[in-house]
Structure 1
Amino acid sequence: MNKKILITDGISSEAKKKLEEHFIVEEKKGLTPEKLKEEIKGMSAIIIRSATKLTADIINASDKLEIIGRAGIGVDNVDVPAATKKGIIVVNAPTSNAVTVAEHTIALMLSLARKIPEANFSLKSGRWEKSKFKGIELEGKTLGIVGFGQIGGLVAKKAIGLGMKVIAYDPFVSEDRFNQMEIKKADKLEDIYKEADFISIHLPKNKDTLRMFNKAEFYKMKRGTIILNVARGGIVVEKDLAEAIKDGQIGGAALDVYEEEPCIDSPVFKLEEVICTPHLGASTTEAQDRAGTTIADQVIDVLNGRAAAFPVNAPVVRPELMNILSPFFELCENLGSLFINLFEGNLNNLKVGYYGKVSEYDVRVLTSNILVKILEKYSAESVNLVNVDLLTREMGLKVKVVKSSESKDFINLITLEGKGKDSELSISGTTTGKKDTPRFIAIDKFEIDMVPSKYMAFIRYKDIPGQIGRIGTAFGRLKVNIASMHVGRKKMSGDAVMGLNLDNEVTSEMLEEFKKLSGFKNIKIVTLY
């Protein structure tokens, strides 16, 4: 396979070796943005850590890029919306450094409590100042954790091992998790502020958390509270923190991340009560090896057409759910293709219905599969599962999903109903048999039982004697063989729909000739890809 991968920040030799077994790998460090724009051309994947910044300009300069791998947790240095719009999947390694970050948090807390950095510096400077560095014990103190995900949970576990009391706040975490870990749940941040002697931050950086811990929040806390941030820079306002420490409201702080990085100057650097490290949270041999291997595995999977384990901007489907939903993927793609080939004019509204057993599951990935096929006709962009939701919103297509456990004639039924300014269309389908074979079962409420094929034709006509013969004769003259024929009608001698499975392609010239030979004008040729 001739796909090429660019590594700009370095990964473990084991991870690199894995990639080299499948692809051409180029490792180039220290690239300027302009140079990276050139180097990214022709690459199917790029792997970065925190040093490389992938801006929209750089991403848009790529011509073959399928996946961006961030060997770490945060993706602040990747313009994810730009990647999404271009259909490039972004993946990270969220579990790779959880232990390392949790241990670093505890290390900083102990260092603050026992004034280890100052004592180390003093002694190595030739001074024995034992009485100057009186610390405090952690046992019996209360640690408040803001953000109770994987890392927050590990910090809590280790703090309990040190004899600390723990209270945590996270509105997105279930009661069960708090109960299982026997951690006191705070209903609001103010509950943390009232009780905590130390507050450890474990939040993602986003519009809701940016500058979250500022002057107003510091002065709601117990006087003398100590702040720990080994999460993301910008969540803590460093200037406000420095002023609160000088004022005695905050007792001290330990920071591993900063508002601007690399950071060599900050208001907190001048304070003895603050310990600072240069974003070392994930900097252990074990964590970096895990991150590189996790990214390498995902790059190999994605470039070989498989799903990524930790996508940042694509639908995530649990393995057990994938086993249930995957039989419907082909049906959904076929329905989307058929719908957009039959629909006349511009589509404004689409209703997707899931009935029967399938309605019990999270069907977002099925809806995305349908939309990919529909948007391929309208969008100038390359459409895939990564960018389909964004492109749908940008196009102004209104999508509504309805679900019901009731399905009259089928165990599972999926329907599409679309409306535009001047037209409407509805189609439905199901799967049958041990192989979950897709079947079209209705077009505009005309019942039709038809297995999709690559080449198909759909004709609307009046159900009167001789019509089927005329259709067969016309296609015969064009050397087009009809593999099977399916007719749906609501009443005798009324309107009817015919679906034909064809053995070969019908070109636009052949279609015009068919209309002349048969007299049928309302015909649509559909090719499934």
Structure 2
Amino acid sequence: MSKLSLPKDKIKIVLLENVHDNAVAYLRSHGYENIESHKGALDADDLKAAIADAHMVGIRSRTKLSKDVLASAEKLMVIGAFCIGTNQIDLHEAQCRGIPVFNAPYSNTRSVAELVLGQVIMLARGIPRRNWICHEGGWDKSAAGSTEVRGKTLGIVGYGHIGTQLSVIAEALGMKVRFYDIVDKLALGNAQSCASLRELMEVSDFVSLHVPDTTQTRNMITATEIGWMKPGSFLVNAARGKIVDIDALAEALRSGHLAGAALDVFPVEPASVEDVFESPLRGMKNVILTPHIGGSTQEAQANIGNEVAEKLVKYSDNGSTVGAVNFPEVMLPVHKGGSRFMHIHRNVPGVISRINDVFGRRGLNIVGQYLRTDEKVGYVVVDVDGMIEPGMGVRRELEEIEGTIRSRFLQCEEP
């Protein structure tokens, strides 16, 4: 068992936005009982008050952890984003404060892929317009504009976790799959890669976007790229809202160049259910609009709860930063019968030698040392033999090293 520098019953965890019960159950099963839950997101002032004395914070997509908010949480040591995206967190500020951020990049891939495939089928059959007609009392049984997806080409932009999952299930329906990614990827099944984005847009009957929100992908799909698409083809975006120029898409739909579209994400999304959703695509009968629900299934949220809670526990119990999005990743073995020190510092020369000097002057034998750095910070974990006696002042002296951001320690007893 491990004794933290702060006992587990003293570690306060704040969870917001209805984080799944699986997360709470996992945390409690590992000894973390001081958990405060909030059903929704909080505005900046209420959020500051809620996390002022929190050691761990768990959020979803609506909670904004800005620089100002993070400055109010002096005890905060780790953040869990119970979702894929982390744009709602000031990752740079969190890193500068020595706070790793963990998310769930894998747990909702199936849910998103299923939604996209469902939208592809609905668009191919002209369901948005036919559904609208029925609601208005009409009855259009014509097969005009209605096709099977079998034999059609699905172009996937971004062949990562969701893109590959979509590739597999689309091919099972008899679709031809082409994909484009800036990184060379191994094709699954009979999927074939495209040499350029333009090639993919030109050969696909349906184009589905699965790229992250970065400076390279923002406004990636403009009037130019839409112009490359086949006349009568369809665009699906369940990735990030700022990837597509919505005005250009609306114009392509009005002109008839595109036969339809489905969007689950938007450049500007309502902050709450009380706010009005505004988009130039509203009212278009050949467009499916969904409120950012790609990963909103019971199965996905349950999986996310487990995945992120596990990462939070591993960091708190063991110091592992595997899966952190803003931090050097260190995979650590379990250390028994000794003490483990974790030191986060600015990435400047000489820190490691001064850390080792602290242990050397006390005659503490280092049995393991794990160091990773990035451009801004360094993270070193030092395992030493034996228990650290009270009054040795190891942690205090480590924190006095120039460039230190924060430090922690664990007493690792034999089970």
TM-score range with shorter-chain normalisation?
0.7 to 0.9
- For residues 57-76 of structure 1, give each alpha carbon's deviation from its aligned partner in whole angstroms, at most 9, with x where no partner exists: 11111011111111111111
Using the TM superposition, give the Cα deviation of residue 9 of structure 1 relative to its aligned residue in structure 2, in angstroms. Answer: 0.7
1:400-428 C-alpha deviation (Å, 9 max, x unpaired): xxxxxxxxxxxxxxxxxxxxxxxxxxxxx
What is the CA distance between 1:289 and its match in structure 2?
0.7
How far off its partner does 1:108 sit?
A: 0.7
Where 2:224 maps in the other structure, the secondary structure is helix
- Structure 1 counterpart of 2:85: 74
Distance in 2 (alpha carbons) for counterparts of 1:297 and 1:184: 36
**Equivalent residues of 1:376, 1:383 under 8 A apart:** no
Aligned counterparts of 1:243 and 1:120: Cα–Cα separation in 2: 23
Q: 2:52 aligns with which of 13, 22, 41?
A: 41
Q: In the alignment, what sits opposite 2:243?
A: 235
**Mapped contact 1:119–1:133 kept (Cα < 8 A):** no
Aligned pair in 2 of structure 1 residues 290, 340: CA closer, same or farther (>3 Å)? closer
Q: Does 1:154 align with 2:162?
A: no
Q: Is the 8 A contact 1:12 1:288 kept in 2?
A: yes
Question: Counterparts of 1:37 and 1:7 in 2: how far apart (Å)?
Answer: 13
Say whether the 8 Å CA contact 1:225–1:250 is kept in structure 2: yes
2:169 corresponds to 1:169: no
Change (3 A) 1:284 1:370: closer
* Match of residue 338 from structure 1: 353
Report the counterpart of residue 4 of structure 1 in structure 2.
12
Q: Which residue of 2 aligns with 1:244?
A: 252
Q: CA deviation at 1:267?
A: 0.8
Change (3 A) 1:371 1:303: closer
1:162 CA drift (Å)? 1.4
Alpha-carbon distance between aligned partners in 2 of 1:314 and 1:34, rounded to the nearest angstrom = 27
Q: Percent of counterpart pairs with the same letter? A: 34
Please point out which of 195, 204, 213 is paired with 1:196. Answer: 204
Contact 2:222 2:248 in 1 (8 A): yes
Residue 224 (structure 1) shift: 2.2
The counterpart of 1:118, out of the listed 111, 119, 129, is 129
Aligned residue for 1:226, secondary structure, equals strand
Equivalent of 1:298, from 311, 331, 341? Answer: 311
Quick one: distance in 2 between partners of 1:363 and 1:222? 51
C-alpha contact 1:148 1:170 (8 A) present in aligned 2: yes
Q: Provide the aligned length of Structure 1 versus Structure 2.
A: 353
- Residue 212 of structure 1: how far off its partner (Å): 0.8
| 1:222 Cα deviation from its structure 2 partner | 2.2
- Does the CA-based 8 Å contact 1:167-1:185 persist in structure 2? yes
User: Contact 2:156–2:207 (CA<8 Å) still a contact in 1?
Assistant: yes
Give the one of 325, 328, 334 matched to 1:315.
328
Output the aligned Cα RMSD: 3.0
Shift of 1:315: 2.2
The answer to whether the Cα contact below 8 Å between 2:354 and 2:401 also exists between their aligned partners in 1 is no
1:130-145 map, 5 Å: 130-131=141-142, 134-145=145-156
Change (3 A) 1:376 1:198: farther
Rate the CA distance shift 1:375–1:185 in 2: closer, same or farther, 3 A: farther
Q: 1:25 to 1:363 in 2, by over 3 A?
A: closer
For structure 1, the 5+ residue unaligned runs are 324-328, 343-361, 385-529
Pairing 1:382–2:410 present: no
2:399–2:406 Cα contact (<8 Å) kept: no
- Structure of higher CA gyration radius: 1
Which residue of structure 1 lines up, in the alignment, with residue 286 of structure 2? 273
Deviation at 1:227, TM superposition (A): 0.5
Contact 1:376 1:382 in 2 (8 A): no
Counterpart amino acid of residue 210 in structure 1: R
TM-score, length-scaled by structure 1: 0.62
Q: How has the CA–CA distance of structure 1 residues 249 and 284 changed in structure 2, closer, same or farther, with 3 Å as cutoff?
A: same
Distance 1:369 1:59, change over 3 A: closer
Q: Tell me if structure 1 keeps the 8 A contact 2:133–2:139.
A: yes
Instruction: Sort the Cα spacing of 1:305 and 1:197 in 2 relative to 1 into closer, same or farther, 3 A.
Output: same
Which AA in structure 2 matches 1:311? A
Q: Pick from 251, 257, 269 the counterpart of residue 261 of structure 1.
A: 269
- The change in CA–CA distance for 1:35 and 1:259 in structure 2 (over 3 A counts) is same
Q: How do 1:496-507 and structure 2 match up within 5 A? A: none
Q: Is the 8 A contact 2:328 2:379 kept in 1?
A: no
Secondary structure of 1:231's aligned partner: coil
SS state at 1:26 partner: strand
Letter in 1 for 2:26: K
1:338 and 1:216 mapped to 2: Cα distance?
55
Alpha-carbon distance change, 216 to 374 in structure 1, aligned in 2, over 3 angstroms: farther
Per chain length, whose mean CA-contact separation is higher, i.e. which structure has more relative contact order (CA < 8 Å, sep 6+)? 2
Query: Matched residues in 2 for 1:318 and 1:297: separation?
Result: 14
The CA distance in 2 between the partners of 1:15 and 1:363, in whole Å, is: 29
> The residue matched to 1:69 in structure 2 has which SS?
strand
The whole-number CA distance in structure 2 between the counterparts of 1:363 and 1:181 is 39
Contact 1:148 1:173 (8 Å CA) reproduced: no
Residue of structure 2 in register with 1:511 after alignment: none
Question: What is the alpha-carbon distance in structure 1 between the residues aligned to residue 15 and residue 381 of structure 2?
Answer: 33
Distance 2:169 2:311 in 1: 31
Q: Indicate if the aligned counterparts of 2:60 and 2:81 stay in contact, CA closer than 8 A.
A: yes
Say which SS state the counterpart of residue 243 (structure 2) adopts: coil
Which stretches in structure 2 are left out of the alignment for 5+ residues? 1-7, 271-275, 335-339, 345-349, 358-369, 383-396, 409-415
Please identify, of 295-304 and 65-74, the stretch whose mean Cα deviation from structure 2 is larger. 295-304
- Alpha-carbon distance, 1:236 to partner: 0.7
Q: CA deviation at 1:152?
A: 0.2
